[in-house]
Amino acid sequence: MSGLDHIPNGVRGAHPVPATTASDSAGQAAAAAVEQPVLANPQRMPSIYLGHGAPPLLEDPLWMGELGGWAASMPRPSQILIVSAHWQTAPMALSATRPVPLVYDFYGFPQHYYEMTYDAPGAPDLAASIKGLMPATEPVMEREPRGLDHGAWVPLKAMYPDADIPVLQMSMPDLDPEHLFEVGRRLAPLRDEGVLIVGSGFMTHGLPYVHEYMMGRPGAPQWSRDFDAWVTEALNRGDLDSLFAFREKAPGMPYAHPTVEHFAPLFVTLGAAAKADERPDYAIEGFFYGLSKRSFQAH
Ligand SMILES: [Fe+2]
């Protein structure tokens, strides 16, 4: 079994949660209006996009060093808001704000990965802030039973192993680049309150097409290199319109993303940037089983 996450899209809904009613939503909005966040660190944070991998990432010294070094290079966040490829539900939803078990949404791995924990504090104040930042047309639901999925807790365990920073996960309401950019734009003020906004996916994620690389072939397939290079160039020149149209414009499609949920969190990251059209800083580059793990922080 490879170290990559290989979660079929069909299992995304394998962790059912109760529906939230419209009256719940109204109550949440009222609560959001009166609650004020208590923030320990007002230092401005970047917004970041990262490749998250599966739990074996935690035994990959190179990747661990890259993620840990990146975290150490940034100011310490007051709280963390993470949008993972592995949670798409509409309306937009927020994960538990109280301790609940992690979501072990990966299959066929050794047992010890299913016993890992990441007991970060909940972030009820951050949840209230997010509800206050969204317009009436963007309802935000609470999913209190929903823990962090592996797209959230695996990279955070690498970056902030002490699990002492409050974490909240937010779902993607859809996979529309421009909508997700707008969601990110709404979230941007949180950065000034010390919140680290994380889009968690994978720069190329053509899992059906990297079997040889999982079996040990070095390097990366051309479609993975082409897509990675194209996105990098588009990011460097601030070409948001091309990025929004990546399905049609990017070389390497559809092989790089036969489904696009691992690329989509990038648009939340860019939306949350103060200067989305400014060249980002690339914290991690290179390929893992033929897939680009390029990760960056936006300004
Ligand atoms: Fe994933």
The pLDDT tens digits of the residues spanning 101-155 come to 999 999 999 999 999 999 999 999 999 999 999 999 999 999 999 999 999 999 9
Burial (CB count <10 Å: 0-12, 13-18, 19+), residue 286: middle
Q: Is 203 a domain residue?
A: yes
CA dist 123 and 252 (Å) reads: 39
Task: For residue 6, tell me if it sits in a domain.
Answer: no
Tokens at residue 60, please? 């990959």
How many structural domains compose the chain?
Answer: 1
How many whole angstroms from 7 Cα to the centroid of ligand 1? 7
Percent of the chain at pLDDT > 90 equals 85
State yes or no: pLDDT of 53 exceeds 50: yes
Ligand 1 centroid to Cα of residue 67, in Å, is 16
Compute the distance from residue 33 Cα to the ligand 1 centre, in Å: 34
pLDDT band at 293; cut points 50, 70, 90: very high
CA of 150 to the centre of ligand 1 (A): 8
Q: What is the Å distance from ligand 1's center to 205 Cα? A: 8
Residue at 211 is within a domain: yes
**Residue 199 lies inside a defined structural domain of this protein:** yes
- Indicate whether 99 belongs to any domain: yes
The answer on pLDDT for 41 being more than 70 is no
The half-sphere exposure of 116 on its side-chain side, counting CA atoms within 13 A, is: 28
Q: What pLDDT sits at residue 24?
A: 36
Residue 168 CA to ligand 1 centre (angstroms): 18
**CATH code, domain with 171:** 3.40.830.10
User: pLDDT band for position 10 (50/70/90)?
Assistant: very low
- State the Cα–Cα distance between residues 92 and 90, nearest whole angstrom: 5
Question: Hey, how many other C-beta atoms are within 10 angstroms of the C-beta on 284?
Answer: 19
Assess if residue 1 is contained within a domain. no
Ligand 1 centroid–CA 23 distance in Å is 33
Residue at 15 is within a domain:
no
* pLDDT at residue 180 is higher than 90: yes
Name the one residue in this structure whose structure tokens are 């079929």.
Answer: 8
Query: What is residue 217's DSSP assignment?
Result: -
Percent over 70 (pLDDT), the chain: 86
153 Cα distance to chain centroid: 10
The predicted structure's pLDDT at residue 42? 67
Summarised one tens digit per residue, pLDDT across range 59-101 is: 999 999 999 999 999 999 999 999 999 999 999 999 999 999 9
CA of 239 to the centre of ligand 1 (A): 26
Query: 261-288, pLDDT tens digit by residue?
Result: 999 999 999 999 999 999 999 999 999 9
Give me ligand 1 centre to Cα 30, in Å: 35
Task: Please give the order of strands across the beta sheet that includes 167-172.
Answer: 140-142, 92-94, 167-172, 79-88, 195-201, 47-51, 295-298, 281-284
- DSSP-derived 3-state class of residue 271: helix
How far, in Å, from the CA of 111 to the mean position of ligand 1?
19
**Residues 194-220, buried b or exposed e (16+ Cβ, 10 A)?**
bbbbbbbbbbbbbbebbeebbeeeeeb
Question: In whole angstroms, what is the distance from residue 274 CA to residue 29 CA?
Answer: 26
Mean pLDDT of the residues in the chain: 89
268/200 Cα distance (integer angstroms): 10
Indicate the pTM of the whole model. 0.87
Q: In this structure, are residues 113 and 103 in contact, taking their beta carbons and an 8 Å threshold?
A: no
Q: Report how far residue 285's alpha carbon sits from residue 276's, in angstroms, rounded to the nearest whole number.
A: 20
Domain span holding position 97: 39-298
- Does the structure show a pLDDT above 50 at 7? no
Amino acid type, 163: A
Is residue 279 within 8 A of residue 200, CB to CB? The reply is: no
**Looking at the predicted structure, is the pLDDT value of residue 55 above 80?**
yes
The CA 84 to ligand 1 mean position distance, Å, reads: 8
Instruction: Give the pLDDT confidence of 20-36 residue by residue, as tens digits.
Output: 333 333 334 333 333 43
For residue 203, how far is its CA from the centre of ligand 1 (angstroms)?
Answer: 11
pLDDT beyond 60 at 206:
yes
Could you tell me the distance, in angstroms and rounded to a whole number, from the CA of residue 81 to the centre of ligand 1? 17
Q: Is residue 131 part of a domain?
A: yes
Q: Residue 292 corresponds to which amino acid?
A: S
What is the whole-number distance in angstroms between the Cα of residue 37 and the centre of ligand 1? 30
Q: Per 3-state DSSP, what percentage of the chain is helix, strand, and coil (rounded to 5)?
A: 40, 15, 45
Chain-centroid distance, C-alpha 226? 23
Predicted pLDDT of residue 5: 42
Q: Rounded to whole angstroms, how far apart are CA atoms 159 and 180?
A: 24
Residue 9 has pLDDT above 90, yes or no: no
Secondary structure of 123-186 in HEC code, one letter for each residue = CHHHHHHHHHHCCCCCCEEECCCCCCCHHHHHHHHHHCCCCCCCEEEEEECCCCHHHHHHHHHH
